[in-house]
């Protein structure tokens, strides 16, 4: 069972204080999603997560590694 994306987004915001400008719109979108199966307007939640991960390279540390692995595990 996966955690809701909005719970993961909340944890990311707690851990990553200066969110990269390119990752921020995808983090905001994840905050409005519960499941990887949902749609965010015309984008799938899966694509939102992939774009977040692609733009979150500057987020480092133990929390970053753990949460990025969790998000990657949600992707098909």
d(CA 59, CA 65) in angstroms, rounded, equals 9
- pLDDT at position 73: 96
Question: Are 26 and 52 in contact, with CB atoms under 8 Å apart?
Answer: yes
Tens-place pLDDT, residues 20-74: 999 999 999 999 999 999 999 999 999 999 999 999 999 999 999 999 999 999 9
H helix intervals, the chain: 5-15, 24-30, 45-55, 62-74
pTM (predicted TM-score): 0.94
Where do the domains of the chain lie? 5-74
């Amino acid at each position: 069972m996966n955690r809701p994306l909005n719970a993961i987004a909340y944890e990311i915001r707690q851990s990553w204080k200066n969110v990269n400008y390119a990752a921020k719109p995808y983090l905001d979108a994840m905050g409005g999603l519960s499941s990887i199966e949902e749609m965010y307007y015309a984008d799938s939640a899966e694509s939102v997560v992939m774009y977040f991960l692609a733009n979150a390279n500057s987020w480092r540390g133990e929390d970053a590694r753990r949460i990025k692995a969790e998000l990657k595990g949600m992707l098909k």
